[in-house]
Structure 1
């Protein structure tokens, strides 16, 4: 109700939030949260005790949580039991005393340019392949979806309940989608953990994912990649490991800017996978060029402090003709102490936000 009221009055930013609807236990995710009562992990690490549910056997060992509880460095605040993909999961909200960590390379920045062809292109030249889990499972999901459509499902208008065959078919389809989500989440966690524990500064872009999903041809692949999830995980993992996350402004022309001389193109079509600089003749992969420009922002952020970094950015609306995006200001040396040319147009200051 508060989200709906704030959205209606303009206090809540983002898309409008509708009035809360009735939540049926048959059409919603089954979950329960315990904040009081007996909540503990058994000494054998394979059982947990929850209020009203009693002693439950775990499929996976809880030795990491139990070790922290035994050492007195963690305290369980609440437990949430949730059903997802036909399986029951229990998650604990824990107050943890974390030791201070430092990345393996605290002074090394890395630019991360996410995409569809490659899930991430690093400024170091590393290419992280996109596993495309949804594409690999699309054939099975379609078969299960067609099988579900042939069953007698629920009807809200007549009050008809779903048949048992429909429920079993819906469960099979849900398990297939849950497997895709688990595979995607596992891969993203491995990538973000490696970046946060290796580099002291990680620079990413503030992508308009909602706007990118409007492209009907690429919407499925964009959603399968999980761009927003990568940024969300990096935000707290860099803080855990003593690093920092810098987010470039949404209008920063990372792909249009030459990483060698700093010249900025007015137009760069999506099908142009190589960046060719007309000023210095540099020919480089488009995504690698964007990653190098993102990595160069870390030095400018340190020079400018927590305020806006001047001399970068582009107009929010690209004109049909004429130069809109500008070159960097004189004196900035983003790539190997190379020179830059004077600005030739308007500039919009970009603010780099540090995640806390």
Structure 2
């Protein structure tokens, strides 16, 4: 799928609305999302079949010239092959006409992107989400676990003039739960153009996201010359100290803790019912489905409250300060602490940084990321002295040099605020989107971590078998840009 390039002065922005489909429309939505999953699985199976076939032929001593040709995974190639087999393949022949072509194109595009990411990872051009790990080979999507999603790029895609309905290809006009006046006004004024629409089922509701090209308007912040340092925590969600010395605190709402009693009661009700069992083929009872839906509502409400609170916090920060300094927290490592994992996950440290990143860019200000090893809590905000150790249970910082006594989180926030000037002059340990991080922060001790040796070939789950994509040679298919010949 061709990537859209915004025109000068315009940016790509998404508008998300909740839907209220009727029973017929919800059945059609699920059918389209299921078609996207089915086409994705077909593409993964069609491409990987040639890999395993070549592996089997090599085991019989067949030479390179006699091996099965590699199957390309570019989107045009997958689309051409799918159009030839969809009328005869028993997996699609009886029902493929019920859905829009965009549903199948969604699955094929996702499969092409997955194979491209895998090829780039094998070439060393990218890594996976976890640092140091490669992107794995695309796998089949489970009907039980796959997220329901489908994207529309062609056809009738519009926001109706009444502001209460949207129109999508083959699905028709669907009522929205909330008014679309914000997007409708931009479209009617000519400052926005809808590019595509994606429907998705999450948190018990159907949503539609319109990818639009909108005219870029920079919202000037209230205090452009003031920098703020944000120290995230559990007791207090965010301690904000600006360059003028003012300190503010954002309390931690602890939405999950507030709902634990209700969640435990709902979970006990679910455990008493007859649930599904895949080993014996037992199906869930109607009472179990109702109890499970009640429990899911509690989880969905907690997630919605958390998202609303984080958006209000980050919007207020990026609308006031010209520079925002945050820490590069190892959230994945922090979640390994079994005593604090639930509280850290409930706080949403990673989501706060993600929202601050794009909201500062939208408002024309900048975000500075302090080095992970910068001793913001150990450094005295008054004289700059650095303590050798500062245990986590010590909540008050007492400087041995100047005698300063201050709250631990307030001290860390003040130190982060001072990094804004250091990032501007290039003498500190901070880095923003344009300047790299300095590797040796003041007073930081980088802990040495021993890395485990890589797993030897043939010791994985496949019973010691070497996968057919372990090695690679030059690309052969001219229609795909990053195709690899994988052994």
Q: TM-score range by the shorter chain?
A: 0.7 to 0.9
Question: Which SS does the other structure have where 1:66 is aligned?
Answer: helix
Q: Which of these residues, 102, 127, 132, is aligned with residue 12 of structure 1? A: 127
| Normalised TM-score (structure 2) | 0.62
Match status 1:116 vs 2:234? yes
Other-structure match for 1:126: 248
How far apart are 1:7 and its partner, in Å? 5.7
How far apart are 1:12 and its partner, in Å? 1.1
Match status 1:37 vs 2:152? no
User: Structure 2: how far apart are the matches of 1:280 and 1:37?
Assistant: 69
Other-structure match for 2:446: 316
Other-structure match for 2:184: 66
User: Structure 1: how far apart are the matches of 2:141 and 2:275?
Assistant: 18
Question: Which SS does the other structure have where 1:52 is aligned?
Answer: coil
Other-structure match for 1:297: 419
User: Structure 1: how far apart are the matches of 2:167 and 2:288?
Assistant: 34
Other-structure match for 2:479: none
Q: Kindly indicate whether the alpha-carbon contact (under 8 Å) linking 1:85 and 1:171 is maintained by their aligned counterparts in 2.
A: no
CA deviation digits over 1:245-265, x for unaligned, max 9? Answer: 000010000000000000000
Q: Which of these residues, 245, 270, 273, is aligned with residue 392 of structure 2? A: 270
User: Structure 2: how far apart are the matches of 1:303 and 1:201?
Assistant: 14
Q: Which of these residues, 73, 78, 81, is aligned with residue 196 of structure 2? A: 78
Q: Which of these residues, 127, 136, 149, is aligned with residue 271 of structure 2? A: 149
Q: Kindly indicate whether the alpha-carbon contact (under 8 Å) linking 1:141 and 1:176 is maintained by their aligned counterparts in 2.
A: yes
| Structure 2 unaligned spans of 5+ | 1-113, 428-434, 449-487
How far apart are 1:312 and its partner, in Å? 2.0
| C-alpha distance 133-307 of structure 1, shift in aligned 2 (>3 A) | closer
User: Structure 1: how far apart are the matches of 2:357 and 2:306?
Assistant: 18
- Normalized per residue, the structure richer in helix is 2
Other-structure match for 1:329: none
Q: Kindly indicate whether the alpha-carbon contact (under 8 Å) linking 1:196 and 1:238 is maintained by their aligned counterparts in 2.
A: yes
How far apart are 1:19 and its partner, in Å? 5.1
Match status 1:93 vs 2:211? yes
| C-alpha distance 230-118 of structure 1, shift in aligned 2 (>3 A) | same
Question: Which SS does the other structure have where 1:38 is aligned?
Answer: coil
Other-structure match for 1:160: 282
CA deviation digits over 1:141-180, x for unaligned, max 9? Answer: 1111222222222222233332222222222222211110
User: Structure 1: how far apart are the matches of 2:136 and 2:280?
Assistant: 25
| Structure 1 unaligned spans of 5+ | 319-356
User: Structure 1: how far apart are the matches of 2:341 and 2:441?
Assistant: 33
Match status 1:252 vs 2:374? yes
Question: Which SS does the other structure have where 1:126 is aligned?
Answer: strand
How far apart are 1:54 and its partner, in Å? 0.8
How far apart are 1:20 and its partner, in Å? 4.7
User: Structure 2: how far apart are the matches of 1:14 and 1:54?
Assistant: 37
Q: Kindly indicate whether the alpha-carbon contact (under 8 Å) linking 1:275 and 1:286 is maintained by their aligned counterparts in 2.
A: yes
How far apart are 1:313 and its partner, in Å? 4.7
CA deviation digits over 1:88-129, x for unaligned, max 9? Answer: 221111111111332111110000001000110011311100
User: Structure 2: how far apart are the matches of 1:78 and 1:291?
Assistant: 42
For the aligned residue pairs, the C-alpha RMSD in angstroms reads 2.0
Question: Quick check: which has more Rg, 1 or 2?
Answer: 2
User: Structure 1: how far apart are the matches of 2:422 and 2:342?
Assistant: 36
Question: Which SS does the other structure have where 1:158 is aligned?
Answer: coil
